[in-house]
Amino acid sequence: MGTGNKRIQMPFGPQHPVLPEPVQLRLVLEDEIVKEVVPNLGYVHRGLENLVMKKDINQMIYVAERICGICSFQHGMALSLALESIAKTEVPKRADYLRVMWGELHRIHSHLLWLGLSVESMGFESLFMQCWKIREKIIDVMEATSGARVIISTSVPGGVRRDITDEQAQWGRKLVREVEQEVREIEKVFFNDYTVKARTVGIGVLTKDDAFNYAIAGPMLRASGIKQDCRQMGYAAYDELEWDIPVSNDGDCYARMIVRVMEIYESVKLVQQAFDKLENSEKGEINVKFKANVIAGEAFARVEQPRGECLYYVKTNGTKHMERMHVRTPTFANVPSLLKMLPGSELADVPVILLSIDPCISCCER
Amino acid sequence: MFEMTNVKDITVDELRPEVQKLFDAKYRFLIITCIDLGDQFEFLYQFDMDLVETTLRLKVAKVNDKATVPSISLICISALLIENEIQDLFGVVFADILIDYKNMLLKTDPDSAPYRVANLIVQNVKSEKSNEGGQA
């Protein structure tokens, strides 16, 4: 290194201490500065969309949930919404509140997981453990309400599979409030710490125009000044609940971190409102009968996952098998933005920038 | 809520001009979906404007079991990954992709095209036969 303008190629991954997931960045460096990058995926592609030929519609809900563990509920919900749209099925209101509750619990635990991993890449081992400790409470709520800790498999076409009791709603509300308080205690590190700022402010900048040109999604999009969130479409019960969309105009790694922290608070607000609605509404139906062999048609469902908008294109032909199911996960949309963010950055910043997109390779290798 | 409403049928020649028009009008690229219809491929190019999507539907006939489509990655750079993925899974050729992985994105055999319906049927028959053998 350090020999003038000599360029070297350096593989970053697919096995790397910072990112134990199978993705590779082929970096071209000039001294310590990244000049070019080519992201390389496909090491563990599973061909899950292909299973529509073998699995019926109800079985495909389980497959969809296994595209990604962290946002599994939203995958199942997105496919359910697409099928319900084709069959013109209206789900019971209580099911909508339950979908909001589980969806936002997933968002909180995903953001806490990411915040932990992100600060760990900067050397904050104890903060990483603190984030994951707080996350455990969310996982406990999911376990108590659904019977499973991560892949909860509660969304089905026509509604949800399980209901919750008033006691569970009260207990869950208390735990979520504790989570909010604990996040507020550690937020000052994310917001103000010298090292965090030194590693993130002005690093990996995407302007508003870049965000549009690279078609990025989710917190990354909002951290670049575009106030867009698929929940604004009002699926499930989002149109009746009060919440805000955190936005930043800085477009750097720091802005992405702040947006995710603020989104935790918004999700807490949504979960609390969902618990209120569930407690105060009449206990009744949580799903309606849904025939597996829905009529022929096509739909394009969009839901906001923790990492951004997830799109499900579904085409049915009146049999119990779908003709085509295509999923665009948020990470798949965000990976091309590395072509813009990494050139010009220092090698030491590559892990921080890569982690700032909250990469989920499981989502890409669907 | 999720019905596909704004759908416009286009030809191969119209693809790039239509995409350029949407891009210039600040439509955000979402995704390309490829569907194997047997004798032709159907491509759905989806764009978003204020959470309302617009779809361009393109049908391309197979010639000698192959099809070539112009890449839109020079207009929408974010299309490069999905175009490479479709190349690997369906055996479609996208002309002039910004970064052409040449079937090395998913590391598939260029002729295997695992998502083609014809190949799926062959795989299913094979797996059924192997199951029968196992039971015997």
Distance, CA of A361 to chain centre: 12
Q: What is the DSSP letter of A301?
A: E
> Strand B68-70 relative to strand B93-95: parallel, antiparallel, unpaired?
parallel
> Do A38 and B99 lie within an 8 Å CB cutoff?
yes
Which residues of chain A neighbour B86 with C-beta distances below 8 Å? none
* Contact indicator for A286, A163 with CB cutoff of 8 Å: yes
Which of B26, B56, B78, B124 to mutate: most A Cβ within 10 Å?
A: B78
Interface residue B133 vs chain A (CB under 8 A): no
Closest CA of chain B from A170, distance in Å: 32
Pair type for strands B40-49 and B28-36: antiparallel
Q: What does the mean pLDDT of chain B come to?
A: 87
Judged against a pLDDT cut of 90, whether residue B28 lies above it is answered with: yes
**How close does chain B come to A202, measured CA to CA in Å?**
23
Burial A268-285 (b: 16+ CB within 10 A, else e): bbbbbbbbebbbeeeeee
DSSP-assigned letter for residue A347: G
User: How would you label A71-98 residue by residue, b for 16+ Cβ within 10 Å and e otherwise?
Assistant: bbbbbbbbbbbbbbbbbebebbbbbbbb
Q: Look at residue B69 and tell me whether its pLDDT is greater than 70.
A: yes
Percent of chain A clearing pLDDT 90 (strictly above): 77
pLDDT digit string, tens, across residues A254-306: 999 999 999 999 999 999 999 999 998 888 889 888 887 778 999 999 999 99
* Closest-CA residue of chain A to B37: A323
Q: ipTM of this complex > 0.90? A: yes
Selecting from A49, A212, A300 the residue whose C-beta is nearest the C-beta of B53 gives: A300
Answer yes or no: do B51 and A235 touch at CB < 8 A: no
Q: Is A152 exposed, middle or buried (0-12, 13-18, 19+ CB in 10 A)?
A: buried
Q: Where are the alpha helices (DSSP H) in chain A?
A: 57-65, 72-87, 93-120, 125-146, 166-192, 194-200, 208-213, 219-223, 253-280, 330-334, 338-341, 350-356, 361-364
Contact A203, A252 (CB under 8 A): yes
Tokens 């921080």, residue? A352
Hey, what are B53's tokens?
Answer: 């999507």
- Give per-residue pLDDT as tens, B98-118: 999 888 888 777 778 888 888
Chain B partners within 8 Å of A50 (Cβ): 114-115, 120
Query: What residues contact A93, with CB distance under 8 A and at least 6 apart?
Result: A237, A281
Q: What global pTM score does this model have?
A: 0.93
The pLDDT assigned to B123 comes to: 56
pLDDT over 70 percentage in chain A: 99
| A85 to chain B: closest CA residue | B2
